[in-house]
């Protein structure tokens, strides 16, 4: 019997061959599978030799975004470890899972594969990563696995070491660091923004189907009273962060890539910026998907009346994602934003906003033991809560890349 995934691979392969092959042979065209009908012309550049042209560097093929993304995360170090690769690829290929999130750049500020941009190449990791990332992505694509690349953005100790003037400063002098000793780029430091765009484009060109932006926020978990933001030009944190979102969106919108943004879980239930700049309605216009990190363990005691949040995994996720859906689909909001228009002169102010489909929401769920052991029942409860909130996509996080509980509940393909 041919599996469902095998049939999918045949269909994708058939479409690529029947549609692309004649065009490729005849006219030097290629098709991006993120949009099978979109044909991009090969761009010729002038050659020093008269009458000869050199083709631009072709992009890797992409697979379409699944209607329901069911993904697990793979760390930067795991991506360069054959045993982890084989294990996690097999887990996806033999179950209902269909996608993977792989680190492009992690908390160290180091990049997991070789890049061509001279501004980025000094930051390629020589400890954790996959020099053959492009080939690995192709192996995943051959199994019809959707590949999402995760970029840690403003938490970047490697970059701030070389560019201390663009870092969050410490009152009294020096670079501010969180409790883990990690430095952050100041969100308002616009010279840094283009390096994020460049990394996203290089990642898309080697095959990543979607770019996932994490740590798109001001810092937390440190001596906050000592943090000085010298690039804000008098603007609030939400304003500065939304300007970055808009810049990123405008710079990437014509590439064809899908984008997603990781937000704190409480952005779905709070309308303030949590002192990190993140407000749900200010992120919605600029990304294809929003990924709130609704890990039950990360909610404070007493949240929504639950003294033991870990004993209420279903309730936490259901409440958080139901609110996310409601606010995403709403046409009005109390949140000011660059794409919002004020309605009347009432107090508090009310603004109109675009309504977005619920499918724009795709939460990060928990399969890691903190501060208690997360059981298969707790993992299953989160998936059910997400379903009951009207959603069918999710991403699972386990920094150890084990997924001990998830393995026991995902169905065989």
Q: Provide DSSP, 13-56.
A: HHHIIIIIHHHHHHH--EE-TTSTT-EEPPPEEE-SSTT-EEEP
pLDDT band at 58 (very low <50, low <70, confident <90, very high): low
Query: Which pLDDT belongs to residue 8?
Result: 52
Is residue 123 within 8 Å of residue 110, measured between CB atoms?
yes
How many whole angstroms separate alpha carbon 155 and alpha carbon 103?
Answer: 14
What mean pLDDT is predicted for residues 261-277? 98
**Residue 31 placed within a domain:** yes
Per-residue pLDDT band at 5 (split at 50, 70, 90): low
> Quick one: what percent of the chain has pLDDT higher than 90?
84
Mean pLDDT along residues 256-272: 97
Asked if residue 117 and residue 14 are part of one domain, the reply reads no
In terms of domains, do 46 and 127 share one? Answer: no
Clarify whether residues 40 and 150 are in a common domain.
Answer: no
Specify whether 140 is located in the same domain as 53.
Answer: no
Structural domains of the chain, count: 2
**63 lies in some domain:** no
| Pair 142, 4 in one domain | no
Type and span of the H or E element at 254 = none
CA distances from 405 to 2, 369, 381, 398 (A): 28, 10, 12, 10
384 has pLDDT over 60? yes
Confidence of residue 412 (pLDDT cuts 50, 70, 90): confident
CATH assignment of the domain containing 83: 3.20.20.80
Domain holding 13, by residue range, is 1-58
Task: Give me the mean pLDDT over the 374-388 stretch.
Answer: 97
Q: Report the alpha-carbon distance of residue 55 to residue 289 in Å, rounded.
A: 33
Burial of 402 (0-12, 13-18, 19+ CB in 10 A): middle
Quick one: pLDDT at residue 61?
A: 87
- Averaged pLDDT, 346-362: 96
User: Which secondary-structure segment (H or E) carries 86?
Assistant: helix 82-93
Give the residue-averaged pLDDT of 213-241: 97
Element spanning 263, H or E: strand 258-264
Statement to judge: residues 79 and 40 lie in one domain: no
CA distance 18 to 41: 18
Count of C-beta atoms within a 10 Å radius of residue 23: 13
Question: Does 261 share its domain with 127?
Answer: yes
Helix axes 376-388, 313-329, angle to 10 degrees: 20
Q: Which two tokens stand for residue 76?
A: 């930067």
**Strand segments (E) across 144-253:** 146-152, 169-170, 210-214, 227-228
Burial of 341 (0-12, 13-18, 19+ CB in 10 A): exposed
338: number of Cβ within 10 Å: 12
Examine the pLDDT at 1 and tell me if it is beyond 80: no
Query: What is the rounded average pLDDT for all residues in the chain?
Result: 88
What's the confidence (pLDDT) of residue 413?
62
Q: Of the candidates 308, 307, 303, 281, which has an alpha carbon nearest to the alpha carbon of residue 292?
A: 281
Average pLDDT over residues 22-50: 30
The confidence score (pLDDT) of residue 60 equals 66
pLDDT tens figures, 69-124: 999 999 999 999 999 999 999 999 999 999 999 999 999 999 999 999 999 999 99
- Does 356 reside within a domain? yes
By mean pLDDT, which of 37-41, 61-65, 153-157, 379-383 is the weakest? 37-41
Domain contains 413 = no
Q: Is the pLDDT of residue 10 over 80?
A: no
pLDDT single digits (tens) 286-327? 999 999 999 999 999 999 999 999 999 999 999 999 999 999
Q: Which two tokens stand for residue 133?
A: 């990332």
């Amino acid at each position: 019997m041919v599996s469902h995934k095998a049939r999918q691979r045949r269909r994708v392969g058939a479409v690529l061959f029947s549609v692309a092959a004649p065009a490729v042979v005849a006219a030097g065209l290629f098709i991006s599978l993120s949009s099978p009908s979109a044909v991009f012309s090969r761009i010729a550049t002038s050659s020093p030799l008269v009458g000869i042209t050199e083709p631009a560097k072709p992009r890797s093929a992409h697979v379409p975004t699944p209607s329901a993304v069911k993904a697990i995360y793979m760390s930067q170090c795991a991506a360069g470890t054959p045993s982890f690769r084989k294990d996690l690829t097999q887990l996806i290929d033999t179950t209902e899972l269909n996608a993977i999130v792989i680190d492009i750049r992690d908390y160290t500020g180091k990049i997991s594969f070789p890049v061509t941009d001279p501004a980025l190449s000094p930051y390629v990791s020589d400890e954790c990563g996959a020099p053959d990332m492009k080939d690995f992505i192709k192996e995943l694509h051959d199994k019809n696995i959707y590949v999402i690349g995760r970029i840690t953005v403003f938490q970047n100790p490697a970059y701030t070491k070389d560019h201390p003037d663009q870092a969050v400063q410490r009152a009294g002098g020096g670079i501010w660091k969180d409790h883990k000793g990690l430095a952050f780029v100041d969100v308002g430091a616009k010279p840094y923004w283009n390096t994020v765009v460049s990394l996203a484009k290089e990642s898309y060109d080697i095959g990543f189907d979607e770019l996932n932006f994490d740590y798109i926020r001001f810092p937390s978990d440190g001596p906050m009273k000592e943090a000085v933001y010298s690039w804000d030009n008098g603007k609030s944190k939400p304003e500065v962060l939304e300007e970055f979102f808009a810049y990123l969106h405008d710079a990437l919108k014509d590439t064809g890539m899908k984008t997603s943004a990781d937000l704190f879980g409480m952005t779905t239930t709070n309308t303030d910026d949590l002192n990190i700049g993140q407000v749900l309605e200010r992120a919605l216009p600029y990304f294809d998907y929003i990924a709130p990190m609704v890990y039950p363990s990360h909610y404070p005691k007493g949240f929504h009346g639950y003294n033991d949040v870990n004993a209420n995994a279903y309730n936490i996720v259901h409440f958080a994602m139901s609110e996310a859906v409601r606010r995403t689909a709403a046409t009005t909001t109390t949140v000011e934003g660059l794409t919002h228009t004020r309605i009347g002169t009432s107090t508090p102010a009310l603004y109109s906003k675009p309504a977005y489909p619920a499918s724009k929401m795709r939460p990060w769920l928990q399969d890691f033991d903190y501060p208690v052991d997360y059981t298969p029942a707790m993992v299953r409860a989160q998936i059910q809560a997400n379903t009951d909130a009207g959603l069918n996509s999710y991403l699972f996080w386990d920094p150890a890349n084990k997924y001990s509980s998830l393995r026991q509940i995902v169905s065989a393909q």
